[in-house]
């Protein structure tokens, strides 16, 4: 068995890892042909992740032009603790305001610590409604996944 195979996460481990992390780094291709990298909050969605962003942002412009991205989530402060998931993804841009509102609600509930089925406070609903008209949803559907968990090596290098 190769080292690569030893550190690879199972599909269930990847899902659990994505559910436990808070920031994705998204690389899209900018107008000059170079990668444009941006950190985003997200929530797990199907086998990938989803988020929202301002419709006029550079990443939204890039993804309208080429709806493909590479997403990275990683952590660990020493070799034996390194974990991560990187995936190439097809990107769906969501412009329906009702759906963008639902996505914004899911994000704010996740980052505020609220339960997903809990009713959002009126202030949160008002904030989300004000933001949704300016934003688009982004759904990242993985086409190729690479993962690693060096903890599986048991401290060996």
pLDDT tens-digit map of 1-55: 777 788 999 999 999 999 999 999 999 999 999 999 999 999 999 999 999 999 9
| For residues 122-139, average pLDDT | 90
State the fold for domain 3-95+135-148: Pnp Oxidase; Chain A (2.30.110)
Q: How far apart are CA 124 and CA 117, in angstroms?
A: 14
pTM score, two decimals?
0.91
pLDDT class of 124 with cuts at 50, 70, 90: confident
70-84 confidence digits (pLDDT tens): 999 999 999 889 999
Count CB-CB contacts under 10 A for residue 91.
21
pLDDT of 119 reads 65
37-65 b/e (C-beta count within 10 Å ≥ 16 → b): eeebebbbbeebbbbbbeeeeebbebbee
* Three-class secondary structure of residue 37 per DSSP: strand
């Amino acid at each position: 068995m190769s080292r690569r195979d030893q550190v690879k996460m199972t599909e269930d481990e990847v899902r659990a890892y994505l559910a436990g992390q808070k920031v994705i780094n998204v690389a899209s291709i900018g107008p000059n042909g170079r990668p444009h990298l941006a950190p985003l909050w997200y929530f797990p969605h199907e086998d990938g992740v989803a988020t929202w962003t301002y419709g006029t942002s550079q990443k939204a412009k890039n993804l309208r032009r080429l709806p493909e991205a590479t997403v990275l989530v990683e952590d660990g402060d020493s070799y034996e603790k390194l974990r991560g998931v990187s995936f190439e993804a097809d990107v769906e841009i969501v412009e329906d305001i009702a759906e963008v509102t639902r996505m914004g609600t899911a994000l704010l509930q996740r980052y505020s610590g609220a339960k997903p089925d809990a009713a959002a406070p009126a202030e949160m609903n008002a904030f989300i409604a004000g933001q949704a008209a300016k934003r688009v949803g982004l759904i990242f559907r993985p086409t190729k996944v690479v993962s690693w968990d060096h903890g599986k090596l048991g401290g060996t290098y």
